Amino acid sequence: MDGVGRSADGIGDAVGEARTPTLDRLLKECPHTYLRAHGVAVGLPSDDDMGNSEVGHNALGCGQIYSQGAKLVNESIESGEIFRSKAWSELKDECLKGGTLHFIGLLSDGNVHSNISHLLAMLEEAKKEGIKRARVHILLDGRDVPATSALTYVDMLENKLKELNDGTFDGKIASGGGRMKITMDRYRANWDMVKRGWDTHVHGIGRQFPSAKEAIETYRKENEGIIDQDLPAFVIAKDSEPVGTINDGDSVILFNFRGDRAIEISEAFDCDDFDAFDRGVVPKVKYAGMLQYDGDLHLPKRFLVEPPCIKHTLGEFLVNRGVRQFAISETQKYGHVTYFWNGNRSEKFSETLETYEEIPSDRVSFDERPWMKSAEITDRVIEVVKSREYGFVRLNYPNGDMVGHTGNMDATVIGVEAVDLALARLIPAVDEAGAVLVITADHGNADQMLEKNKSGKLQPRTAHSLNPVPFIIYNSAVKELSPEGDIGLANVAATVAELLGYEPEKCWKPSLIAK
């Protein structure tokens, strides 16, 4: 149940407000506990860092805790390793010949896709190493941070650029737009988003403003109630000329560290045979990602920080024991039950023992159809369970997360109720097959749809929560699970292995089944 956690105080709790008779009954009658799904429990720097679907599914699928995302990049910046990387040297050398260093990425400190501190550190280092000109193409968040906090981060960036711009260095914001409008599509669901971003960042095509602040303020006045993630694209211009198009001889860094919404724009920059949309004149640049976003596709070719090398995943463990596996979700979370579950691996461990199925997501705002594809996923899983062809089936209902991100409380309640209905439909098939049903989540979201702002007033919250998530076992001989506390998503792999009758890997976190 993606994005379904346990509220700490009931404020904005769409899970609590939803009518969930199935989940309520399971929590009452079945052995259950609650798992940590954020912070250090999933490899992030501190317990102030919210979890996300990528690190959550990594932990669920590998049974271990690896340094992830922001923590991985933090360690590389602190040690200086990032600036000794081959990719940094190649991009720097290109700029020292006269090219501009461009940065594209999500401008926030949400620590889910990016962190503004990484951008600021690279700008400082660029100037220190003699690069003369930098341009920043900002994607506005409002999803992993407060919904209308964009100007806070714009001010931070503008202040840093003002500090660096002393005559030997010229740094400016060049373009931008909301993360759900341009550039950051995922799973090839909407290439038009990526094209809008490409045209904005590369060619400087779009509505012009003298500053990012004026662009944001203007769009807010013109679109009452709009939040940062939905702001249209903008181009910063002087005398009607864009201040930062991307041209031959330039270098480009995508400073997002999370992979799913970084892959498509990386393909546009890094793939010679790219044909998803017309890119116009393609500048000859050196391009690098903060991380390599897909190791199997080698995308991008250059990257600044080595990713965690995740080994001993549950998927590989079961393949080695001849267990057939079935993984399914709709487009929005398909990669999470496949790529991320398998330790950031695109390929299957076994073509004969593993089956993956994707249900295409609707291409509409998820608060318009909050039930999403829960019925279709359930239809297929019921067929699979009844077939008894697979020893392990994993599925993801995205509703609590994807609808929760819209900030629409009423729609999110419906989304949670749709998942509860799906569970009610699954249970008879589980009973008939004599199967075991394990229910959990990768992080919270729908459980905290409101938060207090600095003035103490409640406002919509579109980010993940820091709340624990349920873990329930239905239809097994298990009587008791480990009590809530120092247990998290990484304890799930060993639990699944034990339910299937196998001795878990020694490197995994312990099983949750009480001995």
Instruction: Name the residue type at position 209.
Output: F
pLDDT at 295 (0 to 100): 61
CA distance 451 to 444: 14
Tokens of 322: 């001849």
The 3-class secondary structure across 3-61, one letter per residue, is: CCCCCCCCCCCHHHHCCCHHHHHHHHHCCEEEEECCHHHHCCCCCCCCCCHHHHHHHHH
pLDDT at 456 (0 to 100): 84
Task: Indicate which residues carry an active-site annotation.
Answer: 53
Q: Residue 69, exposed/middle/buried by CB under 10 A (0-12, 13-18, 19+)?
A: buried
pLDDT at 76 (0 to 100): 95
Q: What is the mean pLDDT of each run of 10 residues along the chain (515 residues)?
A: 97 98 98 97 88 93 92 94 97 97 97 95 98 98 94 98 97 98 92 98 98 98 96 98 98 93 96 96 98 78 89 98 98 94 94 98 95 98 98 98 95 98 98 98 97 83 92 97 97 98 98 94
The contacts of residue 513 (CB under 8 Å, 6+ apart) are: 478, 480, 481, 482, 495, 498, 499
* Same fold across 14-68+309-499 and 70-289: no
- Give me the residue spans of the domains in the chain: 14-68+309-499, 70-289
CA nearest to 107, candidates 134, 70, 144, 133: 144
pLDDT at 308 (0 to 100): 79
CA distance 356 to 334: 9
CATH of 70-289, one of 3.40.1450.10, 1.10.15.40, 3.40.50.970, 3.40.50.150: 3.40.1450.10
CATH number of 14-68+309-499: 3.40.720.10
Task: Work out the number of other CB atoms within 10 angstroms of the CB of residue 320.
Answer: 11
Identify the H or E element spanning 470.
Answer: strand 469-474
Looking at the DSSP bridge assignments, the partners of residue 394 are 327
Identify the H or E element spanning 358.
Answer: strand 354-359
DSSP string, 300-312: SS-BSSPPP---S
Strand extents, DSSP E, 411-468: 437-439, 450-452, 458-460
Per DSSP, helices labelled H in 63-180 are: 69-79, 86-96, 116-128, 150-164
- pTM for the model stands at 0.75
Q: Residue 355, exposed/middle/buried by CB under 10 A (0-12, 13-18, 19+)?
A: middle
Length of the chain: 515
